[in-house]
Structure 1
Amino acid sequence: MPVIEINHLQKEFGKFKALNGVNLEVKKGEVFGFIGPNGAGKSTTIRVLLGILKATGGNAKIFGKDVWQDAVDIHQRIAYVPGDVNLWPNLSGGEVIDLFLKLRGGGNKERREELIQRFALDPTKKCRTYSKGNRQKVALVAAFASDVDLFILDEPTSGLDPLMEHIFQECVLEAKKAGKSVLLSSHILSEVEKLCDRVGIIRQGKIIETGTLDELRHLTRTNMVIKTKEPVVLLNELKGVHNVQEVDSEFTFQVDTEEIDAVIRHISQLGLVKLESAPPALEDLFMRHYQGTEHKDSRVGGTV
């Protein structure tokens, strides 16, 4: 049974359809990346999963339970970290962490201390004195010190420096190794690429692609750099070749995956001096889906 199961989920705000038939599944022990531009519906989906918003249509289940009717039971087994954490200003960071852990039955005290050290957090300071990054650390420590089965993380590294992002990534992989499930909404595509077993791309309230990175990469193009002894002519007329550029007798271009063999055969006849190829990145896949869309629809991240 999937840990998260969403079928034909719809959410309307007046005449605006924020979610228009979303289908999504997160399996036990996997890290699922949830990406899309501003206003695509990521955070709305997460708020429905948390029982904060009631769906207009369709259904969503966590651990086989209805997210709206069984929200209290579900919350005992999940940890949630939003992209902008609000804390009680007069409590210290340590007191907030202890409060969250107590709500879930106490948590792991040793794990709590370990995480505070790893995230370089001073738990004695009042929350009103914390920067955005430190507020995120409090929420992350509280989440990863909890004995839960599912982590729902909505832009969780917002405000963290690169070193702390690395610590976060370690924590996610440790959770996965322990058999936990993670739903990760992130605008940092390199982070998604490092951590996630599968990825779902949402646009205008619909899931437009879902699969493992290897399954999705057939839609992307391989980046290539070549230098040859013989002059390179008509390269941009070869089938599957795109964005040809020449700099200092070197050619850079992109090739559709299914045409790589034919392109290599062609250029090898010219006497190869240099050949570099880079596998397609998640960012290439993401941008390809949003080419030609309006600027406001092509930005990654957001809170809708």
Structure 2
Amino acid sequence: VAVAGAAPSGRGFPPSAAAKAGAGAGRCRSAMPPSAMLLLQLLLLLLPLPPLLAALAVPAPAGSAAGGCGPCDPALCPALPARGCPLGRVRDACGCCWQCGRGEGEACGAGGGAAGGRCAPGLECVKSRQRRKAKSGPGLPAAGPPGVCLCKSRYPVCGSDGLTYGSGCQLRAASLRAQSRGEPAISQRSKGACEQGPSIVTPPKDIWNVTGAQIYLSCEVIGIPTPVLIWNKIIRGQYGVQRMELLPGDRENLAIQTRGGPEKHEVTGWVLISPLSKEDAGEYECHASNAKGEATASAKIHVVETLHEIALTK
């Protein structure tokens, strides 16, 4: 029987060298176990994969690797919103790509690399001590737990539009919104709240009561600077207001009390009358003033003989 790949041999001709080699190779193949043959084929299939994977790998912008920054390629940076960034733009953690700055109260610094949010200009990323302690430990990214964007200047400021803003960051945000509407930018006029004239927060209310009772009128005002509050009794004549009597005067049954609050730049005042007499009936005025203006509010005290008259009078 002729062996495949071997030269034919006739009578008187010895087998060729190729035939001997082929026969030897055939004996070697038949001696290799099937499992070894399968392993050899798998290894041969895996050899071209590294060059193929390297060719298919797509470059990423700087910082795409977890916790690190690669080479910067601005062409690969994500596009900013078409309407722009409401609070302005900032560079990412790797200093490569532009991204929209995050506002007050928004999360920041999470994830590391370019994935971490950056605070808008004028704000800083603050991480609470408790949050850092609770999340510290092995296996966490280098960037650590997320923080919160807070304004660097945490005090009220007065804007050029005459409005008071809780911080310089709030003023800046309002200015950017105004500019996006085509309005002039808002600048900081001064630190602290804008000055404003007094306004009545809680005016005094009319009172009906009997002689001998203990009553009081109250008035709450606000203004910047804090207003000065006084009480007057309005004396009316036939043709209107005749004069204003500054209280308490020399009346023994009447006292004036004033205190600051309950809020900042507020002041509250009271007229206390005890015992109530018929001479105390009339109109009382709460008058507040500061450098920016003044405000008034008034109420009447009605003195009746009996409690039954109160229901009938009202």
TM category (shorter chain) comes to under 0.3
Larger Cα-atom Rg:
2
| TM-score in terms of structure 1 length | 0.21
| TM-score in terms of structure 2 length | 0.20
* Greater relative contact order (Cα < 8 A, sep 6+): 1
